[in-house]
Amino acid sequence: MSTQPAPGQPPSPAPDFAAIKAVPFGDSALMVSLATGSVDERQSGSRKLREILLDVRPHGLLDVVAGVDSILVEFDCLAVSHGQLAQTIRLAATSRSSTGDRQAHDGKHFVIPMVVNDSFAPDLADVAAELGISTEAVLGHLEDSELTINLLASAMAPMMGSVEFPGQVSRCKEPRTNVDPGSVMVAGTNAIIQPFPGPTGWKVIGRTPLTICDIREDPPTSFKPGDTVRFKVVPDSEWERLEGQFLRTDSYVIEGNH
């Protein structure tokens, strides 16, 4: 049985779900990815696949972990086999893509203030040098980009794309062992915010005074994958007023209504 890939749904190309590769990762997981297509197509395809899986929740599915261009699908090996689950995933993906994208997720939009100074942005000069532009231009590209949260990475860190940089930003040669919470970081054309202290190899170019994840809140983050984000560089003097506030859609209002 073969299924035709769905007709293109602009702006993103239709992923070729007929070419889903599913490799056993131990007795209780499958590594699922698209076998064909460009880097961008495989990345956006795996994001779509992840949304479909979390929506359909095939029998036996326990959890999913998003990678750059793949998804780890964890399942109960007593409820379903590798082969059965792979088949269910292929069927769910092809039938969903042929019925078109239901835009179920009503995305929210966040404006996230960030402060840039020598201690908050230790890698800004490096990033500017690597891209061959000024530090002001680096921040300008970041502020001008409407970013989409693609997934929540380690400790609910929002991973966002794509920053309209003129090139790719490399990772630090030596990862930092501890980066402060709130740090705004970039790598490739992605941005991420460090929610809790911890190690990272991403380049740090600013810091938000807001608390983006707080386990005392329910849910602990206001954002979800699919939501959009715009960064706004604010003066150091704004830090104190905003410090520690929990990020919500109305945490920072541009052109101040305050």
Partner 1 sequence: MSAAERSITIKVREGAWLATFQDLGREQSEALGVPCGGAADQHSASVANILVGNPRTATGIEIMGGRFSFTTSKPVLIAVTGAPADVTVNGGKVQMWEPICVPAKGRVVIANARGGMRNYLAFSGTLVTGYFMGSSAPEARMGFPQQISAGDHVELQTSYAGFEHPYLTQPLFRLPVPIPSFERPLWTIDIVEGPETDAAHGIRELLSSREYTVTAKSNHVGLRLDGPVVHPQGLGEIVSHGVPIGAFEIPHGDELIILGRYRTLTAGYPIVAFATKASLPMLGQARPGQRMTFRWVSQEEAVDSQHEAQRLLNALETRVRSLFGAIDLPHHSRRIPAQAAA
Binds partner 1 (CB under 8 A): choice among 6, 71, 179, 191: 71
The token pair at 192 is 């991420």
What is the smallest separation between the CB atom of 65 and partner 1, expressed in angstroms?
Answer: 3
Q: Which amino acid makes up residue 198?
A: G
- DSSP H or E run through 130: helix 124-131
Q: Which stretch binds partner 1 (CB under 8 A): 92-100, 107-115, 149-157, 241-249?
A: 149-157
Query: Is 67 a residue that touches partner 1 (CB under 8 A)?
Result: yes
Length of the chain: 258
Q: How many Cα neighbours within 13 Å face the side chain of 75?
A: 30
Q: What is the DSSP string of 155-208?
A: GGEEEEE----SSPBPPPSS-EEEE-TTEEEEEBTEEEE--SSEEE-SEEEEE-
Binding mask 156-195 toward partner 1 (x if CB under 8 A, else -) reads xx-------------------------------------x
- Tell me whether residue 139 or residue 247 sits nearer to partner 1 (CB atom): 247
- DSSP H or E run through 64: strand 61-66
Binds partner 1 (CB under 8 A): choice among 18, 19, 56, 65: 65
Query: Is 81 a residue that touches partner 1 (CB under 8 A)?
Result: yes
Query: Is 52 a residue that touches partner 1 (CB under 8 A)?
Result: no
- Would you tell me which residues interact with partner 1 (CB under 8 A)? 23-29, 31, 50, 54, 62-72, 74, 77-78, 81-82, 151-157, 195-196, 198, 213, 215, 220
